[in-house]
Amino acid sequence: MALSESQIPPDAQHYLVCGTEDCEKNCQFYCNDCHQPMCEQCRDEHQKNKKTKNHEVVPYKQRKRQIPVVKCKIHPTKEMVLLCKECQIPLCYKCTTTKEHRGHVFTDLEMVFDEKVSLCQEEIAKIRNYFEPTSQDLKTDIASDVTEMKKIMEGLRTSMKVEAEAVKKLVDTVTSDKIEQVNKMEQSLLQTLNGQNQNIDDYINYLNDLIQTFYGYLSPSNIEQLTFALNSENLIIRHIPETSKPVPPVFTAGQYSKEDVAKLLGRIIVPNIKPENRKIKPMETASTQLKPTGKQRKQDREKSDMKQTLCLSSSVTKVREYTVPGVPSVFQISLGKSGRLWASDRYGNLVQTDLQGNQLQKIRTSGGYGYHTVTQDGDLIYTDKNNKVINRITPDNTITEFIKTGDWVPISIHSSHINGDILVGMIKDEEAKVTRYNKTGTEIQNIQRDNKRQGLYGDPHYITENINGDICVSDYDKHAVVVVDKSGQHRFSYTRQGSEFNPFEICTDVLGHILVCDEISKSVHLLDQDGQFLSPLLTEQQGLEYPRSVCVDDENNLWVGQWLTNIVTVYKYLQ
C-alpha cells in the first residue's frame, strides 16, 4: 500500500515530481495558495503569471499542508474551513453566523492544521533524532553493564570458593591436631591399664606360689613344717592389688551455627550508595525543515556561533550618532537594507536617510507611533489610520495600497523576520486586537482576548516578534508589555510592578531579550524571554532623557531615538 504525502517520513529519500501538467521534473517548491508542488522553472512561470504572481511560493519542506476536505455536519454543502478559538471546533462559514458562536473569535483552520502538522513532524523528528537514538544508547550502556555485572558476580563466586577452601584447610589442620591429642590420651590411658594388668598378673603368680606352698605343708613327712606354718605369720595372704577404672575423655561438639560459618567465609554486602543515573545527552533541536543551502548553512552557523558567544556586556558603550533631518523627535526607527534608516515622529513625518545622515526621501503620513516596518523583501510598509489601509513603498519609491483593514484602524505594524508574516495592531471603538497577515496580505489570524474572554489590548501602539515566535506588544493604555505565543495564547504581561510604567517602542534581539522604552523612568528596560526584568539597560546616567524608540540591527547594536531631538544614538550592549 502506497503512503500518502503526510505519511512519508520527513527524512525519507523519496522523489517528488512537479505537479504542473506534463512536467516531470524534480519538485523543489510549493505554492501554498494552489497547494501544488513545483519545479524551479514552473515556479518562475507561476510568479510571472498575472493571476498567480502574488501567490505564496515556498521551499517544499516549508509548505503549508493542505487541509483535508471535510463537509460540515450541519451544512453538508459547505466545507469546514475555520476554527472557533473559544469552542476549539472546526466550522464552516455559515456556522459562524449561528447563535452558538456569536461573538466568538475564529481563525483559519488551514493555518491551524498546518501548525499541528508541523508540530507533529517536529515531534517525530525529535523522536527519531533524539529520543530513539538516546534510548538505543542507553540500551547499549545497559548491555555493557550486564556484561560487567556478570564478570563482577563471577569474581565474587571465585572469591567465595577460594575462601571456603581456605576454611576447609584450616578445619583439616585443627582436626588433625585434635586427633593427635586423642591419640596421646589413648596412649596414656592404655599405659595405665597395662600397668594394672601386670600387677594382677604378678598377684596371680603370687597366689599360685602360695598354693604350692600350702600343698607342701599337707605332706605327711612335713608335719613339723605344717605345725610351724600354722603358727606363723606366713599364713597371712596379701591383699588383692587395687585397680581403678580410667576416666575416658569426652568429646564436646563445637557450638556453632550457619551464621558462624557464614562469618568465617566472609560477607556479601551491597554498598549503601545511591545508584548513579546514567547521563542523558541534551536534546539537540530537531528540525523538519529543508536542508539549507550552502549560504544559508553558513549564515545559520554564524548566527549559532554568535548566540553561543554573545552575552550582556558589563557596560553599554556608545558607538556612533546619526542626525535625522526632517523630524523634530524620533518616535520609531525601522532599519532597511544597505544601511538605510527610516525614522518618524508622531505627527506624520516619515524620513529615510543613509548612514551619513543624508535625507533620501520624506513622506507625509497620517502619523502615529509604531506605524511602519521594513519587510523581508526590503520594502517599507506603513499604516494609514485615516483611510484604514496599509501602504507599501517599493525600492523605486512607488507607493501602493497593500491591505485594507475594514472597520478597524491600524495603528502599529511589524514584519516578521521569521516567516515574513505581517502583524498589525488595530483599534475600533473600545476594542483592540492584533491581526496576522501573510506576506501577500491575506488575513490568517486574529488575537483579541485571553482564555477568560478578557480583552488583551487597549492601545497596541508598538508591536514586534521574538525569536521564539512570541508576539510582543507595547500597550500604552494597559501600561504593560503584553506577550502572547504564536498561537495567540497569553503568556505574560510586564508592568514594572511597584512603579508607574508607560511603554513606548519595543524590540527584541538575537538572544530573545525584550527591550522597551519607559517614559516614566526615562530608561530602556531589558527583559528576558519570559518577561523577567533583568536591568535598566540605558538610563539618565548614560545621557538618556526621553527614550521613545529602540531597534537592534544585524550587528547586534542598539539604536535609540528620543523625544525633542532628531539624534539617533547607537550603542553596543552585547559582547
**60 and 14 Cβ atoms separated by less than 8 Å:** no
Instruction: Report CA-CA distances (Å) from 282 to 138, 341, 394.
Output: 14, 41, 45
Mean pLDDT computed over 367-374: 94
pLDDT digits (tens, 9 = 90+) for 535-565: 899 988 888 889 999 999 988 999 999 999 9
CATH number of the structural domain 320-574: 2.120.10.30
CA 438 to chain centre: 31
Domain ranges in the chain? 11-112, 125-264, 320-574
Q: What is the pLDDT of residue 413?
A: 97
**352 and 569 Cβ atoms separated by less than 8 Å:** no
**Residue scoring higher pLDDT (69 or 484):** 484
Which residue has cell 538516546? 134
**464 and 506 Cβ atoms separated by less than 8 Å:** yes
Q: Is the pLDDT of residue 440 over 60?
A: yes
The span from the CA of 345 to the CA of 357, in Å, is 16
| Amino acid identity at 346 | R
**510 and 556 Cβ atoms separated by less than 8 Å:** yes
Q: Is the pLDDT of residue 303 over 50?
A: yes
The size of the chain, in residues, is 575
Band (196; pLDDT cuts 50, 70, 90) = very high
Classify each residue of 201-215 as buried b or exposed e, where b means 16 or more C-beta atoms within 10 Å of its C-beta. Answer: eeeeeeeeeeeeeee
**527 and 512 Cβ atoms separated by less than 8 Å:** no
Helix/strand/coil (H/E/C) assignment for every residue in 277-301? CCCCCCCCCCCCCCCCCHHHHHHHH
Q: What is the pLDDT of residue 472?
A: 97
Q: What is the pLDDT of residue 220?
A: 64
The span from the CA of 379 to the CA of 397, in Å, is 9
Question: In which element (H, E) is residue 157 found?
Answer: helix 132-217
**Residue scoring higher pLDDT (310 or 341):** 341
The CATH H-level superfamily of 11-112 is Classic Zinc Finger (3.30.160.60)
CB-CB neighbours of 250 under 10 Å: 5
Band (15; pLDDT cuts 50, 70, 90) = low
Mean pLDDT of the chain: 85
Q: Is the pLDDT of residue 228 over 70?
A: no
**344 and 351 Cβ atoms separated by less than 8 Å:** yes
The radius of gyration of the chain from alpha carbons, rounded to an integer in Å, stands at 52
**65 and 114 Cβ atoms separated by less than 8 Å:** yes
Band (117; pLDDT cuts 50, 70, 90) = confident
Percent of the chain with pLDDT over 70: 90
Instruction: Please state the φ and ψ torsions of residue 554, each to the nearest 5 degrees.
Output: -70, -15
Q: What is the pLDDT of residue 212?
A: 86
Classify each residue of 67-81 as buried b or exposed e, where b means 16 or more C-beta atoms within 10 Å of its C-beta. Answer: beeeebeeeeeebbb
The span from the CA of 476 to the CA of 425, in Å, is 12
Q: Is the pLDDT of residue 99 over 50?
A: yes
Q: What is the pLDDT of residue 13?
A: 41
- Terminal-residue alpha carbon distance, the chain: 56
Asked if the domains 11-112 and 320-574 are classified in one and the same CATH topology, the answer is: no
Hey, is 356 helix, strand or coil?
A: coil
Which residue has cell 543624508? 358
| Amino acid identity at 64 | K
**Residue scoring higher pLDDT (280 or 39):** 39
Q: What is the pLDDT of residue 296?
A: 47
**Residue scoring higher pLDDT (381 or 263):** 381
Which residue has cell 499542508? 65
Mean pLDDT computed over 217-222: 69
**343 and 371 Cβ atoms separated by less than 8 Å:** no
The span from the CA of 516 to the CA of 509, in Å, is 11
Closest C-alpha to 101, from 66, 129, 130, 74? 74
**528 and 512 Cβ atoms separated by less than 8 Å:** yes
- The DSSP call for residue 129 is I
Q: What is the pLDDT of residue 233?
A: 59
Q: Is the pLDDT of residue 531 over 80?
A: yes
The span from the CA of 226 to the CA of 392, in Å, is 174
By CB neighbour count within 10 A (0-12 exposed, 13-18 middle, 19+ buried), where does 347 fall?
A: middle
Closest C-alpha to 371, from 425, 330, 323? 425
Which residue has cell 585434635? 178
| Dihedral class, residue 486 (left if φ above 0, else alpha if ψ from -120 to 50, else beta) | alpha
Q: Is the pLDDT of residue 412 over 90?
A: yes
The number of C-alpha atoms within 13 Å of 108 and in the hemisphere containing its C-beta is 17
The model carries a pTM of 0.51
Q: Is the pLDDT of residue 302 over 60?
A: no
The span from the CA of 28 to the CA of 18, in Å, is 8
Q: Is the pLDDT of residue 480 over 90?
A: yes
Closest C-alpha to 18, from 34, 6, 30, 8? 30
Q: What is the pLDDT of residue 216?
A: 76
- The DSSP call for residue 131 is I
Q: Which residues pair with 344 in a beta bridge?
A: 332, 350
